[in-house]
Amino acid sequence: MFKANKNYLNLQGSYLFSTIAKKVAAYQEAHPDADIIRLGIGDVTQPLVPEIIKTLHEGVDEMAHKETFHGYSPDLGYEFLRSAIAEEYRQRGCQVSDNEIFVSDGAKSDSGNIQEIFSEDSRVAVCDPVYPVYVDSNVMAGRSGAYDQAAGRYKNFIYMPCTEANNFTPEFPKENPDIIYLCYPNNPTGMAITKERLQDWVDYANKIGAVIIYDAAYEAYITEDSCPHSIYECEGARTCAIEIRSFSKNAGFTGVRLGFTVVPEELKDADGVCMHDLWARRHGTKFNGAPYIVQKAGAAVYTPEGKQQIREQVGYYQKNASAIYNGLKDAGYTVYGGVNAPYIWLKTPDNLTSWEFFDRLLHEVNIVGTPGSGFGPSGEHFFRLTAFGSYENTVRAIDRIKNW
């Protein structure tokens, strides 16, 4: 008789954003006239910029002719895209070669899949609160141990609280991890890390022989010069860090799907195994490449026109972030994030739990956000709002909260 992967039974509830979607759908069904403003999931709302649309059309036309038709993509992605990405790294002073860039269908898949190339008994350290994919993918792989309901934590994971007291940047854990997940600018807190502090993490990882999985999906939102756009701006990162990037948040590809992961050739495990080779092997075996049309559109992001247009679009969402941040402050809330990220992290009023605040916000002013506790126990009494709505809806939502 076949047997299921019982690790899945160790997962807690459904995926956070599925739970929220179900709750909102139930409310909308019971209140069909409610004008709900959705500032929950970090999904973009503005159309793709003209340069990307133009390139997508060109790609479609190429597929219509025998001479320009494209079948499977090369394993690592098309060279035209990887060299454009590598050039961008070079301009930031980072040493990343085309050959170290693996194009994929998005940062979510990569951040869920990357754990596969590490040993099953690796100790995993995650921030708390954290993007649930890092936790759940390691639960599925059997690294979590039992779930402790009272603590809201898995026994074998090392949790690194990110709180007001440490300005939402974790301290080094007491026990040594093998795999450390860091995401900056951070989802969900919207806080950034300074280059100096990230350098400390790189030094620490090199010292203890750990790998950092660095999720830089939100780097386009950085406004402060002290914050690094890539972990490879830090010295020594090539021997301890993998970086994951997305085209979703900078260029609006959430429905188009494109991302990439950098695995430096110097990244070796304790026995000298080259992690780049393992990821290449995994990519070749389990993935047949992002569509040609999409990769072509991805390259348009790096052209002068594309750069300027997506800069304006990111600016649009940044304006929303400021409107939320300042509006909530004016309304007397304690607010974090929003300066270098599209997420605003607010403290719930009157010591309400995150889910109590979620329900009240939905029922009383018809606004959807994300409960902080859904990202981990240290997120309790916090709440996340996203800047990815339309400007009009963002302003309406803040007005509703101010007049609540």
Residues in touch with ligand MLT (CB under 6 A):
41-43, 108, 131, 187, 248
Beta-bridged to residue 128, according to DSSP, are: 161
CB closer to ligand MLT, 187 vs 394: 187
Nearest approach, Cβ of residue 375 and ligand MLT (Å): 8
Tokens 């240290």 — which residue?
A: 378
CB closer to ligand MLT, 199 vs 320: 320
Tokens 């596969």 — which residue?
A: 116
Contact 176, 210 (CB under 8 A): yes
Nearest approach, Cβ of residue 58 and ligand MLT (Å): 27
Which residues, at least 6 apart from 271, have a Cβ–Cβ distance to it below 8 Å?
none
Amino acid at 125: A
Nearest approach, Cβ of residue 32 and ligand MLT (Å): 26
Residue nearest to ligand MLT (CB): 42
CB closer to ligand MLT, 42 vs 371: 42
CB closer to ligand MLT, 43 vs 200: 43
d(CA 86, CA 126): 28
Q: Comparing C-alpha atoms, which of 3, 70, 2 is closest to residue 288?
A: 70
CB closer to ligand MLT, 118 vs 253: 253
Nearest approach, Cβ of residue 69 and ligand MLT (Å): 32
Phi/psi at 263 (nearest 5 deg)?
Answer: -125, 105
Please state the separation of Cα 142 from the chain's center in Å: 22
CB closer to ligand MLT, 59 vs 372: 372
Nearest approach, Cβ of residue 343 and ligand MLT (Å): 8
Contact 244, 215 (CB under 8 A): yes
Q: What is the DSSP letter of 156?
A: T
Bond before 129 cis per omega within 30 degrees: yes
CA distances from 375 to 5, 183, 236, 368 (A): 24, 13, 30, 16
Amino acid at 61: D
CB closer to ligand MLT, 75 vs 380: 380
Nearest approach, Cβ of residue 317 and ligand MLT (Å): 13
Nearest approach, Cβ of residue 215 and ligand MLT (Å): 10
Bond before 132 cis per omega within 30 degrees: no
Sign of CA dihedral 83, 89, 95, 96: negative
CB closer to ligand MLT, 292 vs 345: 345
Q: Comparing C-alpha atoms, which of 59, 68, 146, 102 is closest to residue 259?
A: 102
CB closer to ligand MLT, 39 vs 179: 39
Nearest approach, Cβ of residue 371 and ligand MLT (Å): 12
d(CA 170, CA 164): 11
CB closer to ligand MLT, 43 vs 233: 43
- The three-state DSSP-derived secondary structure of 247-289 is CHHHHCHHHCCCEEEECCCCCECCCCCEHHHHHHHHHHHHCCC
Residue 78: other Cβ atoms inside 10 A: 19
Nearest approach, Cβ of residue 29 and ligand MLT (Å): 23
Nearest approach, Cβ of residue 374 and ligand MLT (Å): 10
* Six token digits for residue 308: 């300027």
